[in-house]
Amino acid sequence: MENWGLITFRETTLLFDEAESVPRDKQNVAIDIAHELAHQWFGNLVTMRWWTDLWLNEGFATYIEYVGVDHVEPEWNMFESFSRDKMDLLRSDALKNTSPVSRKVEDASEISQKFDEISYTKGANLIRMKYSNAEENDLWYAMAKATPSDPALKDLNVVNFMNSWTRQAGYPVVSVTRDYETRRVEFEQRLFTAATDPYEKMLQQLWHIPVSYCAVGGRPQSPAVPSLGAGSRPARPPSHYPSTIHRLCMLTSTPLVSYYRVNYDKKNWELLSVALKTGQIKSPITKSQLIDDAFNLAKVSQLNYSYALGLTTCVINGEDSKMVWDLLLNNMAFLKHNLRATSGYVYFQDYMRILLAKQLEKVNYGLSKPKDDNEAFLIENLVMWECYVESPRCLKWAREQFENWTKQEDVNNNPIPSYLRGLVYNMVLRHGGRAEFDFLWRVFQTSSDPNVKTLIINNLPSTREESLITLLLERSLSEIPKQYAVAAWSVEAPVGTRLAQDFLLQNFHQVYDKFTQMDAFMFPAVLSGSFGFISTEEELTRLKNFALKHKEQLMPMSQTLQKLVDTATFRIDWVRKHAAGISKWFQDYVSGKSTLSQISTVPPTIPSPAGNSSTTPSDATPSGTTSSGTTPSGTTRADPTPSNRGITPAAA
């Protein structure tokens, strides 16, 4: 917490022990310190006039946290993480009830809800320029005054430009359409939304968008500067591209503000796919953005899933970038949750094993010491996925590792490599029973190391034993110390979430009192844990009835609840539309059939599983994961700043 002159930290966000902690802990410590230090200027010395512009505090502190950490530890590629975090946010910022970064605050109870990823991450993304004053308009005026010296920026009205981003909710998708005969290209913008029934008013929104384009590997063909003419449906005037691009694929390049998605015509997607697989596109950020855009466009039926799935084959022969894997696996996690109960799930698992095989071999399955932190991050993610898809090697390995530990005379001698511990705990809890649970519970109780405690409590909810899940929820109200209690609610769907919902409904007042007494961010985490992975109409109705019944107490969490409803609605609709077609694609791929044809949506012969809890796919990420669903348990970013980053479920 960034008190002026006295920054306070939780132990887990400050203490780092080379032997016991994981590289991610070290990174989180650095990030938190940089963030709070940045607040000494942004927030403490210079304060926004009113809570409406909270994003100025948090956006700047967040942006500076990347700058600061990058300065002390350049090897971590913090600006890759910056882009990666942006892509995570683009998912939830596409929900129906997302809000602008600059939001009116009329009641004190609304303040805590504003400490969200929109203020932090979207704010940081909109700030890549120079800081001047705390009133929003002053800031852009000052920027405008500073820009005339740059001829390229002469005609730019910065206030209009930035207001279109800070005062409107959501963000656009730019569709690039080429005419391959006349070499003419058009750029059209519209709201990108995951809502099945978006607000009419939001559909009318337009942004000032800096769009430039280039051939793959080439230089930008037009300056990436927004002009006064922007802000119309055509994001920039149509133009003719040079013949040098003629046979190549086109790529937009947006160095200034790239807070939007890009869609292309089909032929260009095919060309991009070839460029990706043949190594012509080298930048990990570009690769990741293409994969992420393709999956998210497919998710809302703006692109056929065959294109997105086709792009994933680019890693089959190995891929060293942790960012590319992060984004790819992140998108695959969404499919994993939702295909879980379909017959296609086995083919999905087979396909994932094919994708992972080469790179896993390259990093020796994590059995040798990683050469640096980046490789440790990558191994953690790859081995976790190997376990997800139930590779026998992984389960055997995890059991051996765990057994080795339990045999030690002193349990404080943990022989498991620290960066793989969360994964091992998760696997043995998931596939084990009471013995594993009790052992870890004892270590949790007796250890004096907060990192050890955190890692264990984050993983305990992944047990599949119903009695143990309920026991854990009960203990969250009694013997689990308050700073760890909320982690007990990171349960897994469908069994864990169903039990958590039951428990919450039956003990509402007790749970409410316990978690709202701590701080304003605990109870929303309880709600997300219980209702964050809804995939049936029945569960959605349950959530709505619950919200109605406790309307008054839940008022301060209205945004969290709305987000849960939006996410659930989207997920249910998605399963109905896409599950069968995608399963077929995986089946065709693993059985060697062509996967070039387009995937059909909502085949009439297959009844919708939505609404039937016994057949509806659902699953959850291991407890304690971030919203990406691809981070092993216990690595949730701990943030001393009040923020709910990392506890809200991914946008569907």
> Interface residues with Zn ion (CB under 5 A)?
58, 61, 641
Toward Zn ion, which CB reaches closer, 61 or 526?
61
Toward Zn ion, which CB reaches closer, 273 or 641?
641
What DSSP string describes 197-252? S--HHHHT-------EEEETTS--SS-----TT-SSSEEEEEEEPPGGGTTS-EEE
Is the Cβ–Cβ distance between 508 and 541 less than 8 Å?
no
Shortest distance in whole angstroms from residue 58 CB to Zn ion:
5
Shortest distance in whole angstroms from residue 521 CB to Zn ion:
13
**Distance set, CA 519 to CA 415, 512, 515, 641 (Å):** 36, 11, 7, 12
Q: Which residue has the tokens 């219980």?
A: 530
- Three-state DSSP class for residue 136: helix
Residue 159: partners with Cβ closer than 8 Å, 6 or more residues away: 137, 140, 141, 144
Burial class of residue 227 in the structure, from the number of CB atoms within 10 Å of its CB (0-12 exposed, 13-18 middle, 19+ buried): middle
Q: In residues, how long is the chain?
A: 652
What DSSP string describes 47-58? --SSGGGHHHHH
Q: What DSSP state is assigned to residue 139?
A: H
Structure tokens of 370? 């990683």
Dist CA 514 CA 160 (whole Å): 46
Please identify the residue of the shown chain whose CB is closest to the bound Zn ion: 641
Shortest distance in whole angstroms from residue 119 CB to Zn ion:
9
Toward Zn ion, which CB reaches closer, 41 or 180?
41
Q: Which residue has the tokens 């967040």?
A: 62
Shortest distance in whole angstroms from residue 48 CB to Zn ion:
12
Shortest distance in whole angstroms from residue 524 CB to Zn ion:
17
Dist CA 274 CA 272 (whole Å): 5
What DSSP string describes 529-587? HHHTT--SHHHHHHHHHHHHHTHHHHGGGHHHHHHHHHHHHHHHHHHHHHHHHHHHHHH
Is the Cβ–Cβ distance between 258 and 174 less than 8 Å?
no
Is the Cβ–Cβ distance between 649 and 45 less than 8 Å?
no
Structure tokens of 293? 């855009």
Shortest distance in whole angstroms from residue 458 CB to Zn ion:
23
Q: For the chain, first and last CA: distance in Å?
A: 31
Toward Zn ion, which CB reaches closer, 51 or 365?
51
Dist CA 406 CA 216 (whole Å): 54
Shortest distance in whole angstroms from residue 310 CB to Zn ion:
40
Toward Zn ion, which CB reaches closer, 536 or 641?
641
Toward Zn ion, which CB reaches closer, 2 or 573?
2
Shortest distance in whole angstroms from residue 42 CB to Zn ion:
9
Shortest distance in whole angstroms from residue 114 CB to Zn ion:
12
Report whether the peptide linkage leading into residue 494 is cis, meaning its omega lies within 30 degrees of zero: yes
> Which residue type sits at 464?
R
Toward Zn ion, which CB reaches closer, 58 or 386?
58
Query: Please, where are the H alpha helices in 389-521?
Result: 392-406, 421-431, 434-446, 450-459, 466-477, 482-485, 495-506, 508-518
> Which residue type sits at 418?
S
Shortest distance in whole angstroms from residue 102 CB to Zn ion:
17
- Phi, psi for 175 (deg, rounded to 5): -95, 125
Toward Zn ion, which CB reaches closer, 38 or 315?
38
Toward Zn ion, which CB reaches closer, 306 or 641?
641
Strand (E) or helix (H) holding 192: strand 184-192
Shortest distance in whole angstroms from residue 520 CB to Zn ion:
14
Structure tokens of 392? 């026998």
Is the Cβ–Cβ distance between 57 and 48 less than 8 Å?
yes
Toward Zn ion, which CB reaches closer, 34 or 308?
34
Toward Zn ion, which CB reaches closer, 117 or 386?
117
Closest by CA position to 301, among listed 638, 632, 600: 600
Toward Zn ion, which CB reaches closer, 114 or 498?
114
Dist CA 352 CA 590 (whole Å): 10
The 10 Å Cβ neighbour count of residue 466 is 12
Toward Zn ion, which CB reaches closer, 117 or 566?
117
Toward Zn ion, which CB reaches closer, 38 or 457?
38
Shortest distance in whole angstroms from residue 347 CB to Zn ion:
44
Shortest distance in whole angstroms from residue 39 CB to Zn ion:
5
- Three-state DSSP class for residue 6: strand
Shortest distance in whole angstroms from residue 210 CB to Zn ion:
28
Shortest distance in whole angstroms from residue 35 CB to Zn ion:
6
Shortest distance in whole angstroms from residue 609 CB to Zn ion:
42
Structure tokens of 135? 């009133």
